[in-house]
Amino acid sequence: MSVQETSNQENAAKRTPRIAVIGGGMSGILTAIKLQEAGMTDFTVYEKAASLGGTWRENTYPGLCCDVPSHMYRYSFEPNSEWSHRFSPGAEIMAYFDGVAKKYDIEKFVKFNSEITCARYQNGKWHLESGDETLDVVDIIVSAAGVLHKPVYPDIDGVDNFAGAVFHSARWNHDVPLDGKRVGIIGTGSTAVQITADIIDRVEHLSLFQRTAQWIFPQENPEFSEKEKDVFRNIPGAMDDLYANLTNLFASTFGEAVIGDEEQMKLIQDACRANLEDSVQDPELRARLTPDYQAACKRLIVSDGFYAAIQKPNAELVTDQIERVEAGGVRTKDGRLHELDVLVLATGFDGHSFMRPMELIGKDGLNLDDFWADATPAHRSISLPGFPNYFMLVGPNSPIGNFSLIDISERQLAYVMQLIDLWRGGEVNEISAKQESMETFNATIKDAMKDTVWVTGCQSWYLDKNGNPAMWPFSFGKFCEDMTAPNLDEFDLVS
């Protein structure tokens, strides 16, 4: 049974739900736009911080940019002819989201500095609390809380004893000068690589503490010329064509490689290996930079500046493991003290928290922490049995590692909007996935995961505590197809 069969234009406008959107990042802004477009204005976006932007507000580290091409990393309905680079800097992306939010007049719906600490389902409504205060009572929650928002701090002795400045990459302290300083970076993920390439010429000395080497896919980042921008500005459809081409390219190459296309994976692996061999001259350094696992098992890093940076005379790749942090710097297990003025913890995020630490209490007191005690199952990444009218964007097993997250979020929201329309129709008061549907979905996911690169033997933030990647093991085409319309047989619909 499909939504189209049970709902129609006539009944879709019968009643107006009160809706809470949790989070004012990319997905929250999107939801606010689409709710208005659908004629629903009785909603509030709850944002824990003082401004919109989510990950692009929180991450301001030097060198920040998006490794998805800018003309693909944008709302489908808001092309931007002014992107400066193929991969534009973080501040430009933040300005893009600000501009879109202003254009659609989103801020009037946003309650800033309002972290929802608990959402409790009682008598057919969601009660939203912030500390001791009840902020709202709503019919529907759209959780747009994001994925990588909870920084992971390393479990290393002595970090608090460091006499210089120490901060996580997502909590960058811009008051701390870097010029002429001795800077240490712990971590070699996308973040550390971008910081390294950006700051190397400013610092006196950079120590990059590598626990695991990373594969790096070479990718130039040219500026768009005025001539190119003129094409985007003046030729109707030029940006949409580029968007479609980039999406198809990603889907048919990288998107297929990570889920088992050996030919595509070989091209990626070969490109990474050639990049390393062509870029790093010293065989000893090259050996230390060579990973012992398959490319793209961890999130593949894209950079055209890292290898050059790490070979500069003021750069040092430290592969001796860290013993502890002391007042003067980082001591490695070989006994050496790496003296530092600034220590950056580019140690990543907990990719399995989703909307937590918010407490979520569903029907009959069902607590999400119990429901997700061992893993984070969800039906089609969106709905949870026992948590009616609670819908997630970019929830567990979304295709976060393969494609533009904005496209993913748009498609999930279009699916959610069809469920909301069902509620609006008046015949259904509670919508939540059936337990057995979720179990079938998750069993299918688990089975398909066996063919993916993410389980080929590396440690990454994709893996949950059981070693299962919270990823999408199918093609982009299948995701699009699955998101076209909800199959209502998969849902408990209570009138």
Q: Which stretch binds ligand NAP (CB under 6 A): 65-73, 133-141, 362-370, 440-448?
A: 65-73
Is 295 a binding residue for ligand NAP by CB under 6 A? The answer is: no
Is 156 a binding residue for ligand NAP by CB under 6 A? The answer is: yes
Residue 401 and residue 123: Cα distance in Å, rounded? 38
Helix (H, G, I), strand (E, B) or coil at 342: strand
Figure out which of the listed residues 188, 383, 389, 402 binds ligand NAP, where binding follows CB under 6 A: 188
Angle between helices 26-37 and 405-425 (to 10 degrees): 40
- Cis before residue 313, ω within 30 degrees of 0? no
Closest distance between ligand NAP and the C-beta of residue 371, in Å? 26
- The sign one gets for the Cα dihedral 233, 235, 237, 241 is negative
Closer residue to ligand NAP (CB): 112 or 167: 167
Figure out which of the listed residues 76, 212, 252, 290 binds ligand NAP, where binding follows CB under 6 A: 212
Residue with nearest beta carbon to ligand NAP:
189
Figure out which of the listed residues 155, 179, 226, 284 binds ligand NAP, where binding follows CB under 6 A: 155
Q: Which stretch binds ligand NAP (CB under 6 A): 173-181, 191-199, 216-224, 332-340?
A: 191-199
Figure out which of the listed residues 11, 48, 60, 67 binds ligand NAP, where binding follows CB under 6 A: 67
Figure out which of the listed residues 3, 35, 40, 66 binds ligand NAP, where binding follows CB under 6 A: 66
Is 288 a binding residue for ligand NAP by CB under 6 A? The answer is: no
Residue 236 and residue 257: Cα distance in Å, rounded? 33
Is 314 a binding residue for ligand NAP by CB under 6 A? The answer is: no
Of 343, 65, 346, 335, whose CA–CA distance to 205 is shortest? 343
Residues from 322 through 361 that contact ligand NAP (CB under 6 A): 322, 346-349
Closest distance between ligand NAP and the C-beta of residue 243, in Å? 17
Closest distance between ligand NAP and the C-beta of residue 331, in Å? 13
- Are 29 and 97 in contact by the 8 Å Cβ rule? The answer is yes
Is 190 a binding residue for ligand NAP by CB under 6 A? The answer is: yes
Q: Which residues contact 335 (CB under 8 A, 6 or more apart)?
A: 323
Closer residue to ligand NAP (CB): 211 or 363: 211
Provide the H-helix boundaries in 38-146: 55-58, 90-103
Residue 243 and residue 94: Cα distance in Å, rounded? 20
- Are 481 and 363 in contact by the 8 Å Cβ rule? The answer is no
Tokens 């802004």: give the residue.
29
Closest distance between ligand NAP and the C-beta of residue 401, in Å? 7
Is 242 a binding residue for ligand NAP by CB under 6 A? The answer is: no
Is 199 a binding residue for ligand NAP by CB under 6 A? The answer is: no
Figure out which of the listed residues 148, 309, 428, 438 binds ligand NAP, where binding follows CB under 6 A: 148
Closer residue to ligand NAP (CB): 65 or 110: 65
The pair of structure tokens assigned to 179 is 């010029």
Closer residue to ligand NAP (CB): 145 or 192: 192
Is 459 a binding residue for ligand NAP by CB under 6 A? The answer is: yes
Q: What are the distances in angstroms from CA 117 to CA 123, 147, 356, 434?
A: 20, 17, 9, 26
B/e letters for 354-385, b = 16+ CB within 10 Å, e = fewer, are bbeebebbbbeeeebeebbeebbbbbbbbbbb
Residue 457 and residue 102: Cα distance in Å, rounded? 45
Closest distance between ligand NAP and the C-beta of residue 148, in Å? 5
Residue 232 and residue 300: Cα distance in Å, rounded? 29
Binding string, 6-25, against ligand NAP, x = CB under 6 A?
A: --------------------
Is 362 a binding residue for ligand NAP by CB under 6 A? The answer is: no
Backbone angles phi, psi at 273, to 5 degrees: -65, -45
Helix (H, G, I), strand (E, B) or coil at 452: coil
Closest distance between ligand NAP and the C-beta of residue 326, in Å? 16
Give the total of residues touching ligand NAP (CB under 6 A).
26
Closer residue to ligand NAP (CB): 121 or 209: 209
Closer residue to ligand NAP (CB): 118 or 156: 156
Q: Which stretch binds ligand NAP (CB under 6 A): 185-193, 272-280, 442-450, 471-479?
A: 185-193
Residue 383 and residue 491: Cα distance in Å, rounded? 9
- Are 4 and 419 in contact by the 8 Å Cβ rule? The answer is no
The pair of structure tokens assigned to 165 is 């400045």
Query: Residue 15, class by beta-carbon neighbours within 10 Å (0-12 exposed, 13-18 middle, 19+ buried)?
Result: exposed
Q: Which stretch binds ligand NAP (CB under 6 A): 16-24, 149-157, 175-183, 419-427?
A: 149-157
Is 211 a binding residue for ligand NAP by CB under 6 A? The answer is: yes
Is 192 a binding residue for ligand NAP by CB under 6 A? The answer is: yes
Closest distance between ligand NAP and the C-beta of residue 12, in Å? 37
Note the residues at the interface with ligand NAP (CB under 6 A).
65-67, 148, 154-156, 169, 186-192, 194, 211-212, 299, 322, 346-349, 459, 461
